Every structure is written in structure tokens, then in C-alpha cells.
Amino acid sequence: MAMVAVRDNGHRTRGPRGKKRYWTVEKNAQIGKPLVKTTLKASNAPSTSKSKASNAPSTSKSKASNAPSTSKSKAFNAPSTLTSKSKPGLNKSASVAAVSSRDEEAVALSLTENNLAGVSNEANEGQLPSVGDSNLRTNSFEIIGRKKSSRRKSYTTLLMERSKFLKQSGEVSEEDNLPNIDNECNQLEVSEYIDEIYQYYWVTEAQNSALGNYMSIQTDITPHMRGILINWLIEVHFKFDLMPETLYLTVSLLDQYLSLVTIQKNDMQLVGLTALLLASKYEDFWHPRVKDLISISAESYTRDQMLGMEKLILRKLKFRLNAPTPYVFMVRFLKAAQSEKKLEHMAFFLIELCLVEYEALAFKPSLLCASAVYVARCTLQITPTWTPLLHKHARYEVSQIRHSIFFLQDCAEMILKLHKCARTGTLKVTYEKYSRPELSGVAAVKPLDRLPL
């Protein structure tokens, strides 16, 4: 027989004493993890102790000293099973069953609550899991898998699935199959932001009121004076070799300021030069010096006058210099037209003719540019005169350009009229500029008699 002493939270239970073995089962109640210690005392006959665990042998450590040999085994996810074998003819100790059912339930509950911590500690100590550990881990993975499958799908995933479904069902519109006009490899084009940028231009253009009647508040200047000033500013811009967008922003700032402030005709040139100075600071790589602009004006103004006008314009416009100009729409539409240089030069020639004319302010910049591209394609006999790609980016349909919406046809007719008068008009700076070979000499192209029906 053997004596078994079970100690649980300070309570001890004794069994009958024998000569074979001395067992001690100790529970660490503070940490909440069971600790099983087995102490073997050798007797006259050798005996064998086996600790059965699934898929992994137990580890036994022996110390050569007066103390008895000790075999330590830790179990976390499931209670360990100890099996002792003695000599044939000897009965197993019946006192092992003296452990109360209450203590077994407490141990099992503690094991269940700490199964995750046991898996982690087991991995750190390099021990292999038991059968119970493997089953618990498999069940945990199944639960996690079910949770993931039941998660709400993200918005991006839903869009991708919808796109695949539409493509499979053949419901993708023709516009979605049009080629991309942006070069994603060129980081300077910021193609990932281009849609948001132009959406801002379209919204801002719709919010800004037309400036076609601002001359009604002016008492000392006329539309013809405005045309003379802008014709001269085009020449100054060309002489200083400034960027194209600088010219369009100059005219935009000039018109915005004149729509807010009544000025005298003696100050009109000063306002124009200051608008050019501001536009070059905003758009260009460099800006003309103030003294150079004063010398161009035949010393009509002083440095203090120009700097004072610069402050006044900025205050009146509330420092908002990013209004959409015809240039930003023209660049986009020509890219959608997949045009050659000659078409590009012709379209810019027509839109610059519109800058000088006061009546062109009755139309929105996007409408002017769409009509200029349409008239340029008709003039150069490019077919078709309007493409689905142009419709996508210009947001004007072919029927709107030709028949349905007559105000667009009026805009195209106005541009054709300006083209016919460019050779014989008094304000010929734009005509002479686009007669140069580097601009394809498009000013010399004969205008149409009438637009196609």
C-alpha cells in the first residue's frame, strides 16, 4: 500500500501508509494554474511511473542526493493522468480516489478559464500540446473563422464585388470602358487626385455668378477699354515669356476686381499690371520685377501705388486666387480629345480671342472651352467632331452641342464670328501671336462659313 497526501488550500487528507510510494498533489491557488508534483521513494523493489500525455512524452528529472528523485509535469489545458504500475500481484492504491469531487470540479473550472494562458506558456516552454490542448485550439480557430465569415464587408470589398458582377452580367456602361487619359506613372500629374481637383473646379464654377453684366456698375470705363487693356496684357505676357495659365488668371483677377470696385480709367492700366503681378506670383516660376512693370507703363505709376493696389485687390478678393479659369478646362478637354499640336494651338487661339471680348463673359469657362474645341475640330475637319471621351470629361453631349441646347450653339457661333473677324479686327495681338510657326500658324487657317448641322 502507499500513502497519498492531497493538499488543497491548506487541507490535507491522509490515506493508509505502505512501503511502496509517497504521492503529493499540490495546487497553486494563487496563480489559478494547477501544479502536479510526483515524488517517488524507492523501496526494496523497483517500480515504474508513467505520465501519459497525448502526442508528447513527460519529462523526468533525477537528482543524485539524499532527497528522493522528483518527476515534474505541468498541465494547463487539461488535467494530467497519472498511471502507476507496481509489481505483479500488488493492488493500486485506493487512496488516490480520496480526492473529493468538489476539488476536481474546482481544478477543471480553473483549467477551463486559463486555457489560453496555458497555450501561450506551453509554447514559450517548448512543450508539445496534449490531445485536449489540440482539441481546444481547433475549436478556438473554428470559432474565430466563423466570426470572420460573419463580419460586415467593407465598402471597398462591396464595390469590387459589384464591379465584377456588372462586368460578368454585361451591365457595364460604355463610358466605363473608355480609356484612361491620365498617366499614372507620371507623379507630376497627380492622377490619383485629378478627379477630386476637377470636381472642385466644376462646383466652384457653378457657385460663381457670371460676370457678363459687371460693366453696369462702372461709370468711367467701357467694354472696349477692357478689350484694349487685355489685348495689351497679352502682349506683355508674351514679351515676359510667362506661363500660359498666368495669362488666364490675370484676366480672371481683373474681371473679378472690376465686378466689385468702381474705378477710374486712369487706374485701369494699374489694375491690369497688378493683376499680372499677382497671377505670375501664383502660377509662374518667377514674376516680373515691380520696376520692370512700371517701366512698361511709361512710368505712369510709382512702386508704392502698385504695391498698394496689390493689397487692395487681395483684400477685395479675400485672397482667393484659385478660381477656375478657361485654361484648366481647356487642358483637360484637349487631353480627352487626344489631340495633335495643331488642334491644341487652334483651340487656344480661339479661346484667347474670347478673352478680349466682353460678351464672352456671359458663358461659363467650361462652356467656352468645350465650344472652342468643337469649333477647332470642325475647322480642321477632324471626324468625329465630338467623341464619347470628350463627352465624358467635358460633360456636354453631342446633341447639346449641335441641336438641343441652343445657348451652347450660340457660344459656338460667337467663337466662329470672332474667328472670322480676327484677321481684320483692330485688336490683332492674338492673331499675330498665333501666326508664328512655333504655334503651327493656326491663325492663317481659313475659318468655316458655318458650323455643321
Q: What is the pLDDT of residues 412-439, one digit of tens each?
A: 889 999 999 999 999 999 999 999 999 9
DSSP 218-234: -SS--HHHHHHHHHHHH
pTM above 0.85, yes or no: no
List every span in the chain annotated with CATH 1.10.472.10. 212-316
* H helix runs in 317-387, sequence order: 326-337, 341-356, 365-379
pLDDT of residue 26: 45
pLDDT of residue 169: 57
pLDDT of residue 407: 54
Name the residue among 319, 313, 324 with its Cα closest to residue 207.
324
* CA–CA separation, 337 and 83 (whole Å): 87
Name the residue among 250, 247, 263 with its Cα closest to residue 214.
263
* CA–CA separation, 61 and 71 (whole Å): 5
Name the residue among 398, 422, 428, 401 with its Cα closest to residue 412.
401
Element (H, E) at 276: helix 268-283
* CA–CA separation, 390 and 400 (whole Å): 13
Assigned CATH for 212-316: 1.10.472.10
* CA–CA separation, 77 and 136 (whole Å): 8
Q: Are 334 and 373 in contact (CB under 8 A)?
A: yes
Name the residue among 196, 164, 170, 172 with its Cα closest to residue 182.
196
Q: Are 245 and 281 in contact (CB under 8 A)?
A: no
Q: Are 71 and 112 in contact (CB under 8 A)?
A: no
Cell output for 355: 478673352
pLDDT of residue 423: 92
Contact residues for 196 (Cβ-Cβ < 8 A; gap 6+): none
Q: Which residues of the chain, if any, have pLDDT below 70?
A: 1-176, 398-409
* CA–CA separation, 408 and 426 (whole Å): 27
Q: Are strands 11-13 and 33-39 parallel, antiparallel or unpaired?
A: unpaired
